[in-house]
Amino acid sequence: MPANRSQLVTFQRVVLTSWDVACWGLALLVLMIGRYNFRFPEPSQWRLTLMYLVGAIVLQVVIGVLTKLYRGRHEIASFEEVANLALLVMGIGLVLGIPFTMLEPSFPNGIAMTVPLGALVLMLAGRFLFRSLQRTSSGQVETEPVLIYGAGPAGQQLARMVYYDPDSPYEVVGFIDDDPAKRNLHLYKTKVRGGRTELLGVAAKLGVQTVIMAVNTAPRSFTREVASLTERHGLKMLVMPPVREMIGGKASLDQLHEVDVADLLGRSQVKTDLGAISGYLTGKVVLVTGAGGSIGSEIAKQVHRFNPSELVMLDRDESGLHGTQLAIYNQGLLDTPNIVLCDIRDRAALDRVFVDHKPDVVFHTAALKHLPLLEQYPLEGWKTNVQGTLNLLRAAQTHGVSTFVNISTDKAADPTSILGTTKRVAEELTAWFAGHEEGKYLSVRFGNVLGSRGSMLHTFTSQIRADGPVTVTHPDVTRYFMTIPEACELVIQAGAVGKAGEVCVLDMGEPVKILDVVRSLIARSGKEIEITFTGLRPGEKLHEVLFSEKEDYHPTEHQLISQVTVPPLDPAIVDAETQPTVIRIEELANIRADRSQSAASASSDEKDEQ
């Protein structure tokens, strides 16, 4: 079968080349009949005309082979092939036409001006006829009528793929676009049939059950509205992947998927300054703590693309490290020096890691993050989120790290929980080191990420799979959401644009009502599932904030990243609190470096009184 396929492709390319050669002769023949009636005033004009024709054919074949036009570089009748073919033919027309008309006065000017254009028209006609016949010959493939929402570049690219793919399971019967200027625009044998208000009527009239969203730049609120509309009326909605997930920046039909929560809650495509990122990552030793976790593993994957001299991945979770190594290197032997099993609570072990690898850049993602669990075990949160971060900061200070990025959380703004308080202290410790070291030490604060290990979406999905009930803390609770790749992309960007000592806050878009998310998940499951409300847990907020009321934020070079200044916290104060109580942990969030010495002595007095 492969041999037959190869022979068929070779035969098609030979036929294509022969057709292009013939087109030059046909174009000349038409001109000779229509313009000259096969009668030249001078006999020498016949010789010049034949020389022109032979030269054009030779150049067409030679250049076509050298540029791989006839060797399968482009799909037949694709935009790329048509563009390259037009450049080739017009180029040949200029290369031959100029010398022939200037150096040979008897050469008919009409040939130089019209034959290349006529040959190109015939070449294109042959290609489009081939594609039409190819699609007709595969008519046994049953196609489903679909509407494409969006008649812009993304929608047109999708329609082109559907139209020219003989095995496409879809047939585009219309476009939906809210731009009045595009009404009745004709594209690929169909047209724009209206906007959102006409969507349901058009779908019913044309027998459409599937709508494909093809608006990559649309805000997620827009996608949610359209998805809600299609859901309510029993239509299936497919979406194109984000640009970052496309191979070579191009989508393929097998990448279309049913709309999911990530499509509804994630941001639109994030724009990054690749030059700024590569400037501090390429050729450097980069250490990622918590590399076995959801955020750490994604940061490691993205950093790997910038070709660091070494990517050191540290975690205390063996299974997590195995998964990350497998995802990046396609092997999980765990036998390379850059895979480091270490607990950030162990200062001596951390110091050995820095001695062995000498990292230039550190992304610190290791943390305990589950709010209700830390409310029960606050000292565990203190040991990892505060003392572990301090161990890492000191190791970075000792070994001359140039960039230190501490991953924080929106719960550190006006903290009301142990999680938020410990992460706030970590931000303030990072700010202190920024003021005492030459390197750039900063924090990055963002909200919930979709699909992270142990996230609420995993909980909801599991409860739905078990036929419920689905538990929600409060009917009005809202949260910010971002997909893991989006968040990590901005974290890496923040390392380039952020200023030392600052907290970079990622733009999370608009907060989303959790109850709406749950109802959407249940609707997609097709089940009738009960929702129960359990009440807010201790330390949990009804609505999260990204900035506290006391924080003044200002923009950075990147439109999705803002900065706030947090007061630094002297590490001596943390050292004084070897076994802090819950109350003391919360008090420490309000202690500032400008009175660190007096606060440190007061802390031991207060302990004695307690």
Model confidence at 592: pLDDT above 60: no
pLDDT value at residue 597: 40
Picking from 87, 113, 137, the residue at the C-terminal end of a domain is 137
Distances, alpha carbon 357 to alpha carbons 129, 200, 342, 361, in Å: 62, 60, 14, 11
pLDDT value at residue 92: 92
Domain shared by 354 and 456, yes or no:
yes
Domain shared by 389 and 439, yes or no:
yes
Distances, alpha carbon 53 to alpha carbons 33, 47, 56, 86, 179, in Å: 16, 10, 5, 18, 49
Per-residue pLDDT tens digits for 90-134: 999 999 988 988 888 888 888 888 899 999 999 999 888 887 776
Q: What is the pTM of this model?
A: 0.68
Task: Give domain status of residue 567, yes or no.
Answer: yes
Model confidence at 3: pLDDT above 50: no
- Neighbour count for residue 345 (Cβ, 10 Å): 15
pLDDT value at residue 44: 74
Kindly list the catalytic residues: 411
Per-residue pLDDT tens digits for 45-66: 788 888 999 999 999 999 988 9
Average pLDDT over residues 536-553: 80
Range of the domain at 11: 2-137
23 with 119: CB under 8 angstroms?
Answer: yes
CATH number of the domain encompassing residue 154: 3.40.50.720
Model confidence at 555: pLDDT above 50: yes
Domain shared by 154 and 17, yes or no:
no
Domain shared by 9 and 119, yes or no:
yes
Task: Give domain status of residue 267, yes or no.
Answer: no
Per-residue pLDDT tens digits for 264-291: 665 555 666 667 788 899 999 999 999 9
Look at the block and give the residue holding tokens 């993050």: 369
Higher pLDDT, 548 or 599: 548
Q: What percent of the chain has pLDDT over 70?
A: 86
Task: Give domain status of residue 269, yes or no.
Answer: no
Domain shared by 86 and 224, yes or no:
no
Task: Give domain status of residue 98, yes or no.
Answer: yes
pLDDT value at residue 400: 94
State the DSSP string of 396-425: HHHTT-SEEEEE--GGGSS--SHHHHHHHH
Domain shared by 50 and 184, yes or no:
no
Domain shared by 97 and 128, yes or no:
yes
Domain shared by 205 and 294, yes or no:
no
Length of the chain: 610
Q: What is the mean pLDDT of the chain?
A: 84
Task: Give domain status of residue 214, yes or no.
Answer: yes
Q: What percent of the chain has pLDDT over 90?
A: 45
Per-residue pLDDT tens digits for 408-435: 999 998 888 999 999 999 999 999 999 9
Domain shared by 306 and 452, yes or no:
yes
Picking from 230, 259, 288, the residue at the C-terminal end of a domain is 259
Per-residue pLDDT tens digits for 281-328: 999 999 999 999 999 999 999 999 999 999 999 999 999 999 999 999
User: Two tokens at 578?
Assistant: 């070897």
Please tell me the total count of domains within the chain: 3
Picking from 107, 137, 167, the residue at the C-terminal end of a domain is 137
Domain shared by 218 and 91, yes or no:
no
pLDDT value at residue 527: 87
Domain shared by 524 and 556, yes or no:
yes
CA distance 547 to 563: 10
Query: What is the band of 210 on the pLDDT scale with cuts at 50, 70, 90?
Result: very high
Domain shared by 246 and 286, yes or no:
no
Task: Give domain status of residue 610, yes or no.
Answer: no
Closest CA to 301 of 317, 284, 319, 323: 323
Task: Give domain status of residue 550, yes or no.
Answer: yes
Query: What is the band of 603 on the pLDDT scale with cuts at 50, 70, 90?
Result: very low
pLDDT value at residue 227: 86
Task: Give domain status of residue 268, yes or no.
Answer: no
